[in-house]
Chains A and B, each alone.
Chain A
Amino acid sequence: MTELLHFEDFRAGQLFELGAHVLDTDEMIEFAREFDPQPQHLDPEAAQHSMLGGLAASGWYLCALAMRMMVDGLFNRSTSLGAPGVDEVQWRKPVRAGDRVHLNCEVLETRGSSRPERGFVRFRFSMWRIIDGADDERVMMFVCSVMFGRRKGGV
């Protein structure tokens, strides 16, 4: 088994790539039906008339999707203990079925906890739309601190 990433393995400035995903119409709509049943997330016809100009993913779906990519790409090979919150989420562009996106995160800072066996790592997570022949476009961003366990006997 690969060694787990601990608090001590993170340093400001590190960049982690957390994988890519193609947005699936059925999954987007299923999430919206349960949690965000608005026309712009459910009905391609009605969505044409919304501010988003067509069927688009719920922002909360994008957060959940990003979380899944974070778990698969980083947290499940780490001592992550979850996050106490998120400073800010920005939904910057509509994201649509069939869009190819990738997620990365930059380590902004690391700091100790009042509990000596843990520490906090502050990340900026960015979801990017992949556009052939052009620069990737940042469609969502959030900044949050995640708790990680330290190595036993570490200082």
Chain B
Amino acid sequence: MWFEDVPLGTTITIGSYLFTEDNIIAFAKRYDPQPFHVDKDAAARSPYGGLIASGWHTAAVWMKLMMAYRRDHVAAGAADTQANYVSPGVRDICWLRPVRPGMVLTYTNKPSAKLDWPSRPQYGLLEGENEAHDQEGTLVYSFVNRVMLLRRPAL
């Protein structure tokens, strides 16, 4: 989909992910080895009362699901206009609730703003509001992503 074609304000569900003791600990051992992310016993004694996922794990899963969502859409016949998704950054990351083993988070994305990117006029900058809810429907994570999308080539 070209930059011009993305509808603003429409929420899509990009996918769900089960956080387990194994994947929480595996991620955190490499990238965030704080006791409440890697050690069940230490986590039980922490203010969190048990093991919780690294916030960067919750964040990286969004990217994983977004890539799978786009791949599936292209496989289903959507136009594959963007060879790469490049981002200058993200903002307003909110880890609102601890993510614990057994939680399934469902991630959504809502394109919310289109901005110009003067240094690369062939691209536009799309901002999106992203949320993840648990099985009970409680909001546990949100952030705003920014991605550069190719504009529709001039005819």
Residues of A within 8 A of B93 (CB): 85-87, 89, 144
User: Please, how many angstroms separate the alpha-carbon atoms of A85 and B94 in the complex?
Assistant: 4
Residues of A within 8 A of B64 (CB): 34-36
Residues of A within 8 A of B89 (CB): 59, 88-91
| Nearest residue, chain B, Cβ from A36 | B63
User: Please, how many angstroms separate the alpha-carbon atoms of A24 and B86 in the complex?
Assistant: 21
- CB pair A68–B63 under 8 Å, yes or no, is no
A-contacting 9-mer, from B3-11, B54-62, B103-111, B129-137: B54-62
Interface string of A72-110 (1 = CB under 8 A from B): 000110001111111111111000000000000000000
The DSSP consensus for interface residues of chain B is: mixed
- CB pair A38–B32 under 8 Å, yes or no, is no
- CB pair B33–A40 under 8 Å, yes or no, is no
| Nearest residue, chain A, Cβ from B94 | A85
User: Please, how many angstroms separate the alpha-carbon atoms of A63 and B94 in the complex?
Assistant: 15
- CB pair A82–B36 under 8 Å, yes or no, is yes
User: Please, how many angstroms separate the alpha-carbon atoms of A113 and B120 in the complex?
Assistant: 43
- CB pair B63–A67 under 8 Å, yes or no, is no
- CB pair B56–A67 under 8 Å, yes or no, is yes
A15 interfacial by beta-carbon distance below 8 Å = no
B91 interfacial by beta-carbon distance below 8 Å = yes
- CB pair B91–A84 under 8 Å, yes or no, is no
B95 interfacial by beta-carbon distance below 8 Å = yes
A134 interfacial by beta-carbon distance below 8 Å = no
Residues of A within 8 A of B143 (CB): 86
Residues of B within 8 A of A83 (CB): 55, 95
User: Please, how many angstroms separate the alpha-carbon atoms of A39 and B59 in the complex?
Assistant: 20
- CB pair A60–B63 under 8 Å, yes or no, is yes
Residues of A within 8 A of B55 (CB): 82-83, 85
Find residues 56-73 in chain A having any chain B CB closer than 8 Å to their own CB: 58-60, 63-65, 67-68, 71
Residues of A within 8 A of B34 (CB): 71, 75-76, 80, 82
User: Please, how many angstroms separate the alpha-carbon atoms of A143 and B102 in the complex?
Assistant: 30
Q: Output the least CB separation between B119 and chain A (Å).
A: 12
**27 residue pairs A–B, Cβ–Cβ below 8 Å:** A34-B60, A36-B60, A37-B67, A38-B85, A39-B83, A40-B84, A49-B83, A51-B86, A59-B87, A64-B27, A64-B30, A64-B31, A68-B30, A75-B34, A76-B33, A82-B52, A84-B94, A85-B55, A86-B93, A87-B92, A88-B90, A89-B89, A90-B88, A91-B87, A91-B88, A92-B88, A144-B93
B-side interface residues toward A, CB under 8 Å? 27, 30-34, 36, 46-47, 52, 54-56, 59-61, 63-64, 67, 83-96, 120, 143, 148
A-side interface residues toward B, CB under 8 Å? 31, 34-40, 49-52, 58-60, 63-65, 67-68, 71, 75-76, 80-92, 144
